[in-house]
Structure 1
Amino acid sequence: MSEKTISLDGIEVLIEDSACGPQAETLVMIHGWPDTYRIWDAQVEFFRPHFRCVRFTLPGFDIRQPRQGYSLAQLSEHIRRVIEQVSPQQGNAGPPQGSLPPSGGGLGSPSLGGAHQPVTLMLHDWGCVFGFQALLRHPQLVRRVVAIDVGDASSPEFLRSLSGKTKLMIASYQLSLVAAWRLGGGLGDRLTRAMARALKCPADPQHIGAAMNYPYDMQWTGSFGGLKGQMLPLKLPCPLFFAYGRKKPFMFHSQAWVEGLQAQAQHQVQGFDCGHWVMREQAQAFNQAALRWLQA
């Protein structure tokens, strides 16, 4: 497997299209905390005969780069630009090649223009949050979504469904990551890696650092524009396959939201006997289930 790499505002975007046909659909994978594009290795290997597989590390999550946080609007805009860069324009056989020309506008630069073939999003954790928001802002760019383990976690319904104990557990780990973000430096990195170990994160510790924690700071303190008042309601404009792990102390979705999905034939919900990283802990079962749904 040899992925091509293009650059978008200094962020590497990896494209694997060596095993699929020129008319293959595009599958864009977006990770969460504390991960990078590497979390999708097993999915790229499995889906590459069927899809043009695209992945990238979220802005601010590459700890080799200068520490920087991004707003929800900037992240949604970056996802839009990735989709428009890697998805063929209507009537074309393949995506643009090579690096993008200088945009001059960073993550908020204007569209490159032209109608693009809608893609499938594959999302996990914060990738679900940011990917859903990009979808809601640009529904014409997305045909369908595979979301892993995070559903309506920002909705009032979800918050009302939580017990006091669960709220305390969530606050405990998330505020620890906020503190690590604020501290930064070597101490912040060590605290972040310690929390990742405690949560049994599969990512290599050498790729984990406090710089990845800014979404939690955004959520809890309102930094980088915050999330309150910025999130569009999760009213899905396209089909969704929602996969979640059953073996967790708490869920990142409300039961009412899942039941709403199950009541609509275009959506599918499937639980797996594993934790939060379904696509790693149950890779074979998840990959096969997702492919069956995508090909149905």
Structure 2
Amino acid sequence: MNSELIVSGIRVYIDGDGPETIVMLHGWPDTYEIWERQVEHFKNTHRCVRFTLPGFDDPHTRGFSVSEVVELILGVVNAVSPNSKVTLMLHDWGCLFGFHFAALYADKVAQVVAVDVGDANSPAFSRQLSWRAKLAIFAYQMPLALTWYMKGAVGNYVARSIAKFLRCKAGQANIHAGMSFPYAMRWMGALGGLNVLAGPTQLECPIFYAYGRYKPFQFQSEEWLQRLSATAGCKVQAFKASHWVMVDCAEQFNNAVSEWFALKI
């Protein structure tokens, strides 16, 4: 069963009619479409719920604070699963916003599947990063932060050029500077900044964490991976993939998550 609904002006797509609901949150520079292979796989057993993060489909967006993004997620979860907890499936910025939501609304979240961004706002992660990795992160994230202030043709060109260099999966025509507001939050404190964000270390629900090996640096600390691996009900799995594990290794990722789900029945 496929259906759509509107929550706070955002179009929400629902596929499948299984007894449990998966809410999927993407990152930069993607839209709800990045989860196509997951929907194809999980709609036979679950209800798959997707939407594009606010502003990611609007090049003239004003940007959205952490609290506004979390309020939207809450509205979607309440609309699609008012009486049952959901599974969050997260990637990139979707991880950061999703972890915060799960920490604030633990009564709404049964478990979390996170892809390639873990405890990236933790002291352990900062300590682990080499100066080369810190420089590389700054070298692409700061220009993206600036594109949000530029907007227009120049901002779009810079954002698309960075996305091309990083081998992002989104089509160039769909990438615009308006998507960059999370980076402006990160580096310039725009829209209230990100200091309020809770990380995965603050969650008590089970977590499946997938990350790609084929990258110049990681977005999680080894300390957190070891702790997560030793936690009952949780799982860590590395894939021969880039940052977009769920695209590069879709079949392996989907099967691994399904197996993890089955262990929890």
Which TM-score bucket, shorter chain as reference?
over 0.9
1:16 corresponds to which residue? Answer: 15
Matching of residue 37 in structure 1 with residue 32 in structure 2: yes
Q: Report the equivalent of 1:77.
A: 71
**Aligned twin of 1:68:** 62
TM-score, structure 1 as length reference: 0.86
Separation (CA, whole Å) in 1 of partners of 2:198 and 2:208: 20
SS of structure 2 residue aligned to 1:241:
strand
Residues 96 and 197, structure 2, Cα contact 8 Å, conserved in 1: no
Residue 265 (structure 1) aligned to one of 227, 232, 239: 232
Aligned-pair distance for 1:254?
A: 0.2
1:53 aligns with 2:48: yes
Moved over 4 A (4+): none
CA distance in 1, matches of 2:205, 2:226: 17
- Mapped to 1, the partners of 2:72 and 2:58 lie a distance apart of 18
Q: Secondary structure at the match of 2:159?
A: helix
Secondary structure (helix, strand or coil) at the match of 1:166 reads helix
Where in structure 2 are the equivalents of 1:86-235 lying within 5 Å? 86-87=80-81, 89=82, 116-228=83-195, 230-233=196-199, 234-235=201-202
Deviation by residue 1:75-102 (Cα, 9 ceiling, x = unmatched)? 1111111111011x4xxxxxxxxxxxxx
1:256 aligns to what? 223
Question: Residue by residue, what CA displacement relative to the aligned partner does 1:170-225 show, whole Å, maximum 9, x if unpaired?
Answer: 00000010121111101101111111000000111121100000000001111100
Shift of residue 295, structure 1, vs aligned partner: 1.5
Say whether the 8 Å CA contact 1:63–1:208 is kept in structure 2: no
Matched position secondary structure for 1:61: coil
Specify every segment of 5 or more residues in structure 1 that has no aligned partner in the other structure, as ranges.
90-115
State the identity %: 47
In structure 2, distance between residues paired with 1:288 and 1:272:
12
Whole-angstrom CA distance in 2 between matches of 1:279 and 1:259: 22
TM-score by length of 2: 0.96
Q: CA deviation at 1:232?
A: 2.5
Amino acid paired to 1:213: S
Contact 1:63 1:207 in 2 (8 A): no
Cα deviation code 1:102-130 (max 9, x no counterpart): xxxxxxxxxxxxxx200000000000000
Q: What letter corresponds to residue 56 of structure 2 in structure 1?
A: F
- Separation (CA, whole Å) in 1 of partners of 2:61 and 2:72: 17
Return the alpha-carbon distance in structure 1 between the equivalents of residues 198 and 256 of structure 2: 29
Note the residue ranges of structure 2 that are not aligned, 5 or more in a row: none
Deviations 1:211-244 (A, max 9, x none): 000000001111100012x123531120000000
Aligned to 1:107: none
Letter in structure 2 aligned against 1:178: A
Please give the alpha-carbon distance, in whole angstroms, between the structure 1 residues aligned to 2:212 and 2:224.
16
Q: State the 1:3 CA deviation.
A: 3.0
Structure 2 contact 97–197 (Cα < 8 Å) conserved: no
Residues 14-38 of structure 1: CA deviation (Å, up to 9, x unaligned): 0112xx44xx100000000000000
Higher helix share: 2
